[in-house]
């Protein structure tokens, strides 16, 4: 049994943890890359899934530097970012939200809550406000272009994250970031896109829950 009330801070990833938005983003990466060809789009989507939690900025740079043919690489970075943002916004506003967040918030009313995501920070704050979720996260909503390690380090230094703290994530990168920040970590499995996550979490001896509301 996880004693969630033991923690002074809970840090949540967004996609696949609070919102069922992993598929929304995977489909958006594929869609916006299609002008470069189906093969390139498939490679970008595969790269995206293998690097869960990493910002779109790094993924599109990798796409243009390593997947797209050289003669096309000088075109489209800003256009890709714009098209991607447009493609994900509606999906993020309509996808499922983790159940019973309000009940968990009440259970941990003396615990500070934060979002630390690879998603664009301003986009996330707008979406959470429109969905009425921002009020749950009294510690703030943070995302790219800053990477998760930078966000955690900064917020710990500023006293916004107080240890002991728990990071709830659904990717290998979330685990690495939590370890870097000396936060405990729980893997949330229901909406993850990590392949063979059972094998990986067993090997690393990571605690797994299906949904955040089971805390």
pLDDT tens for the chain, 215 residues: list them.
688 989 999 999 999 999 999 999 889 999 999 989 899 999 999 998 888 778 888 999 999 999 987 766 566 888 899 999 888 888 899 999 999 999 999 999 999 999 999 999 999 999 999 999 999 999 999 999 999 999 999 999 999 999 999 999 999 999 999 999 999 999 999 999 998 999 999 999 999 999 998 88
**Domain count across the chain:** 2
| pLDDT digits 0-9 by tens, 65-81 | 999 877 665 668 888 99
pTM of the model: 0.88
Q: 148: which DSSP letter?
A: H
Same domain membership, residue 115 and residue 80: no
> 209 pairs with which residues across the strands?
188
Residues sharing a CB contact under 8 Å with residue 100, sequence separation 6 or more, in sequence order: 213
Same domain membership, residue 56 and residue 13: no
Same domain membership, residue 169 and residue 125: yes
Final residue in a domain of this structure, among 94, 126, 155: 94
- Pairing state of beta strands 184-188 and 140-144? unpaired
What is the pLDDT at residue 54? 83
Same domain membership, residue 140 and residue 116: yes
CATH of the domain at 102: 3.40.50.1000
| pLDDT digits 0-9 by tens, 167-179 | 999 999 999 999 9
Query: Are the CB atoms for 97 and 19 separated by under 8 Å?
Result: yes
Residues making up the chain, counted from first to last: 215
Tell me the percentage of the chain whose pLDDT exceeds 70: 97
Q: How far apart are CA 95 and CA 19, in angstroms?
A: 7
Q: How far apart are CA 63 and CA 200, in angstroms?
A: 26
Domain residues for 62? 23-94
User: Cis omega before residue 165 (within 30°)?
Assistant: no
Same domain membership, residue 157 and residue 71: no
What is the pLDDT at residue 156? 98
By C-alpha distance, which of 11, 172, 177, 24 is closest to 94? 24
Same domain membership, residue 207 and residue 112: yes
Q: How far apart are CA 148 and CA 11, in angstroms?
A: 11
Task: Tell whether the torsion through CA atoms of 90, 19, 150 and 60 is positive or negative.
Answer: negative
Gyration radius of the chain's alpha carbons: 17
Same domain membership, residue 113 and residue 9: yes
């Amino acid at each position: 049994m996880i004693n969630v009330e033991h923690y002074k801070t809970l840090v949540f990833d967004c996609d696949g943890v609070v919102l069922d938005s992993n598929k929304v983003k995977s489909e958006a990466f594929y869609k916006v890359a299609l002008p470069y060809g189906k093969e390139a789009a498939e490679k970008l989507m595969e790269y995206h899934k293998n690097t869960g939690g990493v910002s779109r900025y790094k993924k599109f740079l990798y796409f243009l530097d390593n997947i797209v043919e050289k003669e096309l690489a000088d075109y489209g970075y800003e256009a890709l970012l714009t098209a991607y943002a447009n493609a994900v916004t509606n999906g993020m506003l309509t996808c499922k939200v983790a159940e019973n967040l309000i009940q968990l918030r009440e259970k941990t009313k003396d615990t500070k809550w934060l979002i630390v995501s690879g998603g664009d920070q301003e986009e996330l704050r707008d979406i959470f406000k429109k969905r009425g979720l921002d009020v749950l996260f009294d510690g703030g909503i943070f995302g790219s272009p800053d990477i998760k390690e930078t966000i955690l380090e900064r917020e710990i230094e500023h006293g916004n994250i107080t240890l002991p703290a728990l990071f709830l994530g659904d990717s290998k990168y979330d685990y690495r970031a939590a370890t870097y920040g000396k936060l405990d970590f729980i893997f949330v499995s229901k909406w993850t896109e990590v392949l063979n996550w059972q094998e990986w979490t067993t090997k690393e001896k990571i605690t797994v829950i299906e949904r955040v509301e089971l805390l």
